[in-house]
Structure 1
Amino acid sequence: MAAAAWNEAGTYQSAGEYADGLAIIERAIIRYEKTPGDDLTRVVHLGSLHLRGIVLASRHKDANATADHVRKAKALAERVTGPDVLQHNLTFGKGNTALYELAAQIEMNHPDKAAEVAAPLLKNPPSGLKPSRVGRLAIDAARARLATRDLGGAEDALKYAFHVAPQMAEIHPMAREVLRVLWTLHQRSRPELVAMAKRSGLAS
């Protein structure tokens, strides 16, 4: 039931109907909290619902709902010892929660805070995350750094994304947007930036 709500809300998220998706998530959380149990499966399911809530609330620009979902997800993540856990196609733990918090700071137009959150994560990525998730972390860090006019830092984060998840980084729209902006800001003399632009089809 939790996985179904997570996926249903994701459909609304993809359509940009954030308020409706958030309503689905919040109803599912209320129902789930009323069911008995206190095992790891329950933590993963409930935590994953809150992670989806973070995305929907931050894109809906609802600061209170975003903060509430972040707080509850982080509390649940503390109960996951070791790497993030995958159950029923839902991944939850401290690592994934940190990535969602980072993305939320960007969506809420807090690039300074996002860059601050990203710095330690890039130096020591959370264990157990797939390369694609670490790559997404680097892309979000690049977005935050670009927004704070840290062009060199944005390029460094993109290079890390291309290192850990090259195929994803080449086609990811957010990575391509950061590359496009760096490219137009007269960074063409930087060989590694040129190489990434060529791999993404932004330069010949």
Structure 2
Amino acid sequence: MSRPGNGLEHAVHLGSLHLRGVVLASRHKDKNATADHVRRATALAAQIPTDILQHNLTFGPGNTALYELAAHVELDAPNKAAEVAGPLLKQPPAGLKPSRVGRLAIDTARARLATKDLVGAEDALKYAFRVAPQMAEIHPMAREVLRVLWTVHQRSRPDLLVMAKRAGLAN
């Protein structure tokens, strides 16, 4: 029997708590606490070869990268978030379920929108609708990005109309 504090289960549970800390600290705009939680989660994720789902918690290197990306958006560093997002979207981390990859695409769309890359934001949103359509249709952050894009480009971008209809934002 392993001692408490050792092993995969410990890394998943403690790492998941640090990911929650990333969310809370970044939404509170606390850069130091966010960085500390990211550092600790990354160290724990390094013990796991690929993301795993255990006790309804997904944890590993990929999911940790997604949380770090989202933290950059929350901390008003969309350029850094967009930079981090590029390679992750091209090659999503192994072991991530479609819902997590969809969330990656939504956060990428948020970052690109904040950097005024409207085409990139639309492309990321399309990706979210492709990999996790049900989630993309109802997720508040996806809907907000879509609402902004729709307002700016509703007549010139037919793909936005399709997504807006699916999300219930247009008739």
- Bin for the TM-score computed over the shorter chain: over 0.9
The aligned residue for residue 202 of structure 1 is 169
Task: Report sequence identity in percent.
Answer: 79
The aligned residue for residue 64 of structure 1 is 32
Give the one of 61, 65, 68 matched to 1:94. Answer: 61
Letter in 2 for 1:43: A
After TM superposition, which residue ranges in structure 1, 4 or more long, deviate above 4 angstroms? none
- TM-score, normalization: structure 2? 0.95
Q: Secondary structure at the match of 2:40?
A: helix
Q: Secondary structure at the match of 2:66?
A: helix
Distance 1:68 1:37 in 2: 19
Runs of at least 5 residues in structure 1 that lack an aligned partner in the other structure: 1-34
Distance 1:40 1:198 in 2: 43
- TM-score, normalization: structure 1? 0.80
Contact 2:4-2:10 at 8 Å conserved across structures: no
Deviations 1:15-69 (A, max 9, x none): xxxxxxxxxxxxxxxxxxxx84321111111111110110011111111100000
The aligned residue for residue 85 of structure 2 is 118
Deviations 1:92-127 (A, max 9, x none): 100110110011101101000000111111000111
Contact 2:18-2:40 at 8 Å conserved across structures: yes
Per-residue deviation at 1:183?
A: 1.1
Letter in 2 for 1:57: A
Distance 1:190 1:37 in 2: 53
Q: Give yes or no for the alignment of 1:180 onto 2:147.
A: yes
Q: CA RMSD in A?
A: 1.1
Distance 1:164 1:112 in 2: 24
What is the number of residues matched between the two proteins? Answer: 169
Per-residue deviation at 1:187?
A: 4.1
Runs of at least 5 residues in structure 2 that lack an aligned partner in the other structure: none
